[in-house]
Structure 1
């Protein structure tokens, strides 16, 4: 008879531990992105991706994305459904405009932060490198 309380206690502990992961999702500190080797972009935000097609930017963006974006947008930019699948973001200026708006200002829907604002958190160089990486993973 003593095994029943032990089993139910173990089940409750497992449930509590699994919920902490769900409740903590997205509640993390942004990680710095080392942009050494990329041209400095200055203070004024660019309208178009200045690193488009740059292999160094793709590599830096890969690291930056997987440290800061993959929790919601999925490893290798393959979303599991929590956030938009960025592989389908339009290429070129159209996609750049959407990207800049979202990464700079975030997204708040019905009073809930769906995506944090990264302006002032990650550099313009880091964010454009992430965009370059996303473009390298593009699918139609």
Structure 2
């Protein structure tokens, strides 16, 4: 079988693109190492192990966000992209690798579930499915990410 010159060039270009962007980078989102989030502009929610149990930035249905809630959404957008998108999907839309967090109830039960997992991580069958973020994210960053997710449409 004979391949013409343009087909050869196209195949070479495709091969080079795979070499330049290996699967580990080309098909994942976000950084692979958990990283701290800049929470400048958010009021302190407290220090140490005393965390709030309900999202302090939650925007009630039908209300406009105040300045802290707006800043929380901004911080949460960046924090989610840096730490969560790799597994949970870009803009909160999961591709099936991990739960779609947009569907987590925006209430005390959902906050409890979220807080447990973000602080302690998740292991299954002896393997780490999600790393713990308790030593990486302060509660302002964690609740800001939760607030961002609550603003994402579910459709």
Give yes or no for TM over 0.5: yes
Per the alignment, in what secondary structure is the counterpart of residue 123 of structure 2? Answer: strand
Gaps of 5+ in 1: 1-10
Kept in 2, the 8 Å contact 1:103–1:118? The answer is yes
Kept in 1, the 8 Å contact 2:41–2:71? The answer is yes
Return the match for 1:105 from 120, 131, 138: 120
Give the alignment's TM-score, normalised by structure 1: 0.80
**Structure 2 residue aligned with 1:56:** 71
Give the alignment's TM-score, normalised by structure 2: 0.73
Gaps of 5+ in 2: 1-14, 60-68
**Structure 1 residue aligned with 2:108:** 93
CA RMSD of aligned residues (A): 2.7
Q: How does 1:1-140 map to 2 (within 5 A)?
A: 18=22, 20-21=24-25, 28-42=32-46, 43=48, 44-53=50-59, 54-139=69-154
Kept in 1, the 8 Å contact 2:32–2:86? The answer is no
Per the alignment, in what secondary structure is the counterpart of residue 112 of structure 2? Answer: helix
The Cα shift of 1:103 comes to: 0.2
Judged with a 3 Å threshold, the aligned counterparts in structure 2 of structure 1 residues 108 and 125 are, in CA distance, closer, same or farther, namely: same
The Cα shift of 1:31 comes to: 2.5
Question: Number of matched residues?
Answer: 130
